[in-house]
């Protein structure tokens, strides 16, 4: 089978202007005598680096990746809108690019005239457009408005008409960039049906999207781009899986960084004199205020808080139902007999999901000195998916705070199922034999 | 470059529909609509005629000043509007260049052509004037008229390509251009006759390409006697083709930068 699209070792470098250069004008270029120099980029930014991939004719190929990974650049190169800096791009057959729908619509003239001009722009003849006109209008569901000027259209109408024209060009290669969010559910289904029809007729489709389920369901092959480089390609399910794992890891790093940052912020707001100490104590009593921060006298200090997964590794991401252990490292600067350790779990909206301390659970403090560690092991994290914040505190039985860490720690709970609420009780479903169900996605 | 240039005829359908879109869109929503294509040059003519017939004395040796003026003013308006509009056309049409595979040179070409259509509409008024003033037209001279128009078309296209491509990189060309065009207008024998200024000044006027177009129009349509300026016109025709090719070459060289710069 021949390749419809071939990218060989493609690199695309964009210029990155310093702010000063952004408004480079003839005058400034002439005055500083740097006419030629200013045209040379000061800094460059590689959007794609040595990317190669082939799409055999008749296949549906998905490109996934984070924002800024070079997906759209790759698509623009295939569409021929920009040229690669090095490497070659070969495309066989007529291309229609669903990149910007309705680009080139003129707002002042009617939808009808715009359909003709847009069609001609995409490579049809006037007669071709005339022949397909009714079909286009019907597909866009625009029968009633086709003679109104385009400027009166809603954005949905505008996109639908653009989509309808582009898809009726009858291309050999269809390039799709994140355009399925065009209409309501019904229209989206119609678009998917149309793609299906394209597939059956042996057309090549190159799809750039964040809708991973679409890639899994629809594509024969997938490519994962990351910072302009190919990270993986092949079977869509495996590529999507690898991509999701990587996204999870970087979320983890993100959370760790956020934690470090908020701890640092709390450190820098640390009260220094006694007056401030009294003042902060009143803040401590105001428990309804959801402000992150740190206060206390520091006779006992919380030096470190980590979440650990069942394997004992520090982590910020947990599956719903997994065990989680919270390790609190503490240091007593003097020997004490009055201390209570406590935690509080808050949802992202600030709802207190759970709170406990050693006093409530009837531990009587006897003695503490030097460095130590407190571990709260949660057997099963029965929370629905979401981001949660943690309070950690050590204080006297009467509430006098030694060290209070308010909402300084973040962890994320992931779940394959998307239930709502906060608490996810362990549960099972049972159905009598006359009710038949199938469990999907397992 | 030649390859791309030879591709151009393939896009005539697109150019044609874009020109007609341009014309339709321009006056959409105005009360007089297409009538403005006639009214605009007519009003401009009224202003100049008023100034030069009542405020100032018309130049020596020019009778029927309105007709004389119109012969130069109408082509000038085509030329000037084309250049000013095409200097911004790649930027305002940026969406097309960035999002659709679209031969960018079509945009300045469409600008020049749609202004040509306005020029042709203006010709209808000019014909009315010619009949009214009973201008001494000679059929043989009139055969030169389409040639003058073609030379002007090629010249204007050449300038339009250069300006549109350069403005993408130097936005201030747009502002400079407005003033340059005013100077250029007065350096062209439109409101005065080529024969009016002293000989040493006329030598400078000869360096101005539009001088020869204006003089050609005036000789064909206004002045008596045979068309004596044809040598200049043909030379200008050759120069225009060269300018067009240079313009296309420049445009083609800068083409790849458009999608990133507009």
Report the b/e string of B86-111 with b at 16+ CB within 10 A.
bbbbbbebbebbbbbbbbbbbbbbbb
Interface residue of B29, B101, B258 to substitute, partner A, most A CBs within 10 Å: B101
pLDDT of residue A33: 53
Cβ pair A26:B259 closer than 8 A: no
- Residues of chain B with C-beta less than 8 angstroms from the C-beta of A116: 17
Burial label for A436, CB within 10 Å (0-12, 13-18, 19+), is exposed
Interface residue of B10, B12, B14 to substitute, partner A, most A CBs within 10 Å: B14
Long-range contacts of A228-237 (CB under 8 A, 24+ apart): A228/A12, A228/A46, A228/A47, A228/A48, A228/A49, A228/A51, A228/A69, A228/A70, A228/A73, A229/A48, A229/A49, A229/A50, A229/A51, A230/A51, A230/A52, A230/A53, A231/A65, A233/A53, A236/A62
Which helix or strand (DSSP H or E) is residue A49 part of? strand A43-56
Nearest CA among A399, A48, A59 for reference residue A198: A59
- Residues of chain A with C-beta less than 8 angstroms from the C-beta of B176: 26
CA pair distance A116, A42, nearest whole angstrom: 43
pLDDT of residue A286: 42
Query: Are the CB atoms for A189 and A139 separated by under 8 Å?
Result: no
Q: What is the pLDDT of residues B121-176, one digit of tens each?
A: 888 888 888 888 887 778 888 888 999 999 999 999 999 999 999 998 888 888 89
Q: What is the pLDDT of residues B163-216, one digit of tens each?
A: 999 998 888 888 899 999 999 999 999 988 888 888 888 888 889 999 999 999
> Ramachandran region of residue A105, left (φ > 0), alpha (ψ -120 to 50) or beta?
beta
Rounded to the nearest angstrom, the minimum Cα separation between A83 and chain B is 7
pLDDT of residue A361: 92
B residues 25-54 lying closer than 8 A (beta carbon) to A:
25, 28-29
pLDDT of residue A30: 59
Show the CA angle centred on residue B123, arms to residues B117 and B126, nearest 5°: 160
- Residues of chain B with C-beta less than 8 angstroms from the C-beta of A117: 14, 17-18, 21
Cβ pair B21:A83 closer than 8 A: no
Instruction: Say yes or no: A121 contacts chain B, CB-CB below 8 A.
Output: yes
CA pair distance B262, A3, nearest whole angstrom: 33
pTM over 0.80: no
- Residues of chain A with C-beta less than 8 angstroms from the C-beta of B259: 76, 81-82
Residue A337: strand, helix, or coil: coil
CA quadruple A360, A365, A369, A374: dihedral positive or negative?
A: negative
Q: B19: number of CA atoms within 13 Å, CB side?
A: 19
CA pair distance A135, A133, nearest whole angstrom: 5
Cβ pair A108:B29 closer than 8 A: yes
Cβ pair B96:A103 closer than 8 A: yes
Cβ pair B21:A82 closer than 8 A: no
Q: How many A/B residue pairs have CB atoms within 8 Å?
A: 75
Burial label for B118, CB within 10 Å (0-12, 13-18, 19+), is buried
> Is the pLDDT higher at A226 or at B2?
A226
Instruction: Say yes or no: B101 contacts chain A, CB-CB below 8 A.
Output: yes
pLDDT of residue B140: 82
A168 DSSP 8-state letter: T
Residues in Cβ contact with B66 at an 8 Å cutoff, skipping those fewer than 6 apart: B45, B49, B53, B129
Instruction: Say yes or no: A120 contacts chain B, CB-CB below 8 A.
Output: yes
> Is the pLDDT higher at B126 or at B33?
B126
Cβ pair B259:A81 closer than 8 A: yes
Which helix or strand (DSSP H or E) is residue A232 part of? strand A229-234
Rounded to the nearest angstrom, the minimum Cα separation between B179 and chain A is 15
Interface residue of A21, A45, A106 to substitute, partner B, most B CBs within 10 Å: A106
CA pair distance B17, A120, nearest whole angstrom: 8
Q: What is the pLDDT of residues B45-101, one digit of tens each?
A: 888 888 877 888 777 777 788 888 889 999 999 999 999 999 999 988 877 887 777
Interface residue of B12, B21, B114 to substitute, partner A, most A CBs within 10 Å: B21
Residue A345: strand, helix, or coil: strand
pLDDT of residue B23: 85
Could you say which architecture CATH assigns to the domain A275-280+294-414? Answer: Distorted Sandwich (2.70)
- Residues of chain A with C-beta less than 8 angstroms from the C-beta of B28: 108-109, 149
Say how far residue A279 (Cα) sits from the centre of its chain: 41
Total H helices, total E strands in chain A: 11, 18
Instruction: Say yes or no: B91 contacts chain A, CB-CB below 8 A.
Output: no
pLDDT of residue A29: 58
Residue of A nearest to B19 (CA): A117
pLDDT of residue B65: 84
Residue A346: strand, helix, or coil: strand
Per-residue pLDDT of chain A (442 residues; tens, 9 = 90+): 688 899 999 998 887 664 444 445 566 655 655 555 555 555 778 889 989 999 998 889 999 988 888 888 898 889 888 888 899 999 888 888 877 777 778 888 888 988 988 888 888 888 889 999 999 999 888 888 899 988 898 888 888 888 888 888 888 888 888 766 656 777 878 888 888 888 888 889 998 888 887 888 888 999 999 988 998 888 888 888 888 888 878 887 888 888 778 777 766 654 444 444 444 444 444 444 445 688 888 889 999 899 998 888 888 888 888 899 999 999 999 899 999 999 999 988 888 899 999 999 999 999 998 999 999 999 999 999 888 989 999 999 888 889 998 888 888 888 877 788 889 998 999 999 999 888 765 4
Residues in Cβ contact with A128 at an 8 Å cutoff, skipping those fewer than 6 apart: A119
pLDDT of residue A291: 56
Query: Are the CB atoms for A331 and A370 separated by under 8 Å?
Result: yes
Which of B13, B169, B172 is opposite residue A27, by nearest beta carbon?
B172
Instruction: Say yes or no: B195 contacts chain A, CB-CB below 8 A.
Output: no
At A421, give phi and psi (nearest 5°): 105, -155
Nearest CA among A388, A414, A237 for reference residue A318: A414
CA quadruple B21, B22, B23, B27: dihedral positive or negative?
A: positive
Show the CA angle centred on residue A58, arms to residues A121 and A80, nearest 5°: 35
Cβ pair A83:B256 closer than 8 A: yes
Burial label for A370, CB within 10 Å (0-12, 13-18, 19+), is exposed
- Residues of chain B with C-beta less than 8 angstroms from the C-beta of A75: none
Cβ pair B102:A80 closer than 8 A: no
pLDDT of residue A278: 40
Cβ pair A116:B14 closer than 8 A: no
Which of A27, A82, A120 is opposite residue B259, by nearest beta carbon?
A82
Instruction: Say yes or no: A108 contacts chain B, CB-CB below 8 A.
Output: yes
Cβ pair A15:B260 closer than 8 A: yes
Show the CA angle centred on residue A269, arms to residues A263 and A273, nearest 5°: 130
Instruction: Say yes or no: A25 contacts chain B, CB-CB below 8 A.
Output: yes
Sheet holding A95-98, edge to edge: A95-98, A173-177, A204-208, A60-64, A221-226, A229-234
Which of A100, A120, A122 is opposite residue B13, by nearest beta carbon?
A120
Instruction: Say yes or no: B84 contacts chain A, CB-CB below 8 A.
Output: no
Residues in Cβ contact with B119 at an 8 Å cutoff, skipping those fewer than 6 apart: B74, B75, B77, B78
Cβ pair B101:A25 closer than 8 A: no
């Amino acid at each position: 089978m021949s390749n419809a699209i071939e990218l060989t070792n493609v690199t695309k470098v964009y210029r990155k202007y310093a702010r000063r250069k952004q408004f480079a004008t003839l005058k400034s270029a002439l005055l500083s005598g740097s006419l030629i120099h200013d045209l040379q980029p000061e800094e460059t930014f590689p959007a794609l680096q040595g990317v190669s991939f082939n799409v055999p004719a008749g296949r549906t190929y998905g490109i996934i990746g984070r924002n800024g990974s070079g997906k759209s650049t790759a698509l623009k190169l295939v569409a021929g809108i920009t040229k690669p800096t090095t490497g070659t791009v070969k495309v066989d057959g007529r291309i229609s690019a669903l990149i910007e729908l309705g680009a080139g619509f003129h707002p002042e003239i009617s939808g009808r005239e715009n359909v003709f001009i847009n069609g001609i722009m995409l490579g049809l003849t006037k007669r071709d457009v005339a022949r397909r006109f009714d079909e286009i209008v019907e597909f866009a569901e625009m029968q009633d408005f086709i003679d109104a000027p385009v400027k009166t259209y809603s954005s949905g109408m505008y996109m639908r008409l653009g989509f309808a024209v582009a898809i009726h060009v009858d291309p050999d290669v269809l390039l799709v960039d994140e355009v399925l969010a065009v209409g309501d559910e019904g229209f989206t289904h119609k678009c998917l049906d149309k793609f299906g029809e394209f597939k059956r007729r042996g057309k090549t489709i190159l799809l750039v999207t964040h809708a991973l389920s679409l890639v899994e369901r629809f594509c024969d092959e997938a490519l994962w781009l990351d910072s302009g480089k190919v990270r993986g390609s092949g079977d869509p399910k495996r590529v999507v899986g690898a991509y999701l794992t990587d996204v999870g890891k970087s979320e983890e790093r993100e959370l760790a960084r956020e934690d470090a940052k908020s701890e640092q912020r709390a450190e820098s707001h640390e009260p220094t004199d006694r007056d401030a100490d009294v003042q902060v104590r009143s803040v401590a009593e105001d428990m309804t205020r959801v402000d992150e921060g740190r206060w206390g006298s520091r006779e006992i200090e919380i030096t470190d808080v980590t979440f650990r997964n069942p394997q004992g590794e520090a982590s910020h991401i947990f599956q719903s139902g997994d065990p989680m252990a919270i390790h609190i490292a503490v240091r007593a600067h003097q020997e004490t007999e009055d201390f209570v350790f406590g935690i509080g779990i808050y949802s992202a909206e600030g709802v207190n999901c759970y709170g406990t301390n050693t006093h409530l659970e009837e531990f009587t403090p006897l003695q503490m000195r030097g460095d130590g560690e407190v571990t709260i092991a949660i057997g099963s994290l029965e929370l629905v998916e979401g981001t949660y914040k943690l309070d950690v505190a050590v204080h006297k039985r009467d509430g006098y705070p030694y060290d209070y860490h308010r909402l300084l720690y973040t962890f994320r709970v992931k779940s394959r199922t998307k239930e709502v609420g906060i608490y996810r009780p362990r549960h099972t479903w049972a159905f009598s034999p006359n009710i038949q169900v199938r469990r999907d996605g397992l | 470059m030649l390859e791309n240039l030879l591709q151009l005829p393939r896009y005539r359908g697109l150019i044609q529909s874009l020109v007609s879109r341009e014309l339709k869109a321009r006056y959409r929503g105005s009360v007089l609509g297409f009538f403005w294509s006639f009214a605009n040059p007519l009003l401009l003519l009224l202003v100049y005629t008023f100034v030069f017939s009542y405020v100032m004395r018309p130049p020596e040796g020019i009778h029927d000043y309105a007709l004389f003026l119109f012969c130069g003013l109408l082509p000038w308006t085509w030329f000037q509007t084309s250049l000013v509009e095409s200097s911004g056309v790649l930027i305002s049409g940026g969406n097309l260049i960035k999002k659709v595979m679209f031969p960018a040179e079509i945009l300045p070409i469409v600008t020049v052509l749609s202004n040509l259509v306005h020029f042709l509409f203006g010709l209808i008024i000019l014909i009315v004037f010619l009949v009214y003033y009973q201008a001494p037209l000679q059929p043989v001279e009139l055969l030169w008229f389409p040639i003058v128009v073609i030379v002007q078309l090629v010249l204007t296209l050449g300038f339009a390509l250069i300006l549109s491509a350069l403005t993408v990189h130097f936005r201030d060309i747009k502002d400079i251009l407005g003033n340059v065009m005013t100077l250029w207008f007065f350096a062209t024998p439109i409101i005065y006759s080529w024969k009016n200024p002293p000989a040493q000044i006329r030598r400078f006027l000869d360096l101005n390409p539009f001088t020869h177009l204006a003089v050609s129009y005036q000789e064909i349509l206004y002045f008596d006697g045979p068309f004596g300026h044809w040598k200049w016109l043909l030379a200008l025709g050759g120069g225009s083709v060269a300018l067009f090719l240079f313009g296309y070459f420049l445009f083609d060289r800068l083409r790849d930068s458009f999608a990133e710069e507009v």
